[in-house]
Amino acid sequence: MTAKDVVVAYSIALSKGDIPAAFSHFSTDAKWHQPGDNKFSGTKSGLDAIGKILGSMMEMTQGTLVINPAGAMMVNGNFVSCPVRFSAKNGAKTVDMNGSDLFEVIDGKIAQVWLFSEDQSAEDAFWN
């Protein structure tokens, strides 16, 4: 399975809400690099920590957080870049912007994920 195949399989499982299948594509010691200056920012290590941050984001947005592909995946060796469009509601606050997710795949598993957004200040205001 290529790096792109792994990320595609993860993305399909995530889009179906199949969290166990999505997480099966991560290494057990994976790292998730959440950008910005908000309560979710920083590097999360391991599946438990990654699951906790994603679960907290879904809880805070009452399940409205949606991440959709916004272009073709690009591959450079074991790195896969995915342009995305993400949106969510949190009470009266909303976020709807472009971003990019960068995955590092090692030995057929996602080892690291870095997230980027087009307006980090607006994203920070949403999550805070």
pLDDT on residue 10 = 92
Q: Render pLDDT for 69-85 as a digit per residue (tens, 0 to 9).
A: 899 999 999 999 999 99
CA-based torsion, 93, 47, 43, 75: positive or negative: negative
pLDDT on residue 102 = 98
Number of Cα atoms under 13 Å in the Cβ half of residue 6? 26
* Positions in the chain short of pLDDT 70: none
Report in angstroms the alpha-carbon separations of 13 from 7, 23, 110, 126, 128: 10, 9, 14, 26, 28
pLDDT on residue 9 = 94
CATH of domain 3-127: 3.10.450.50
Residue 72 has phi, psi (to 5 degrees) of -75, 145
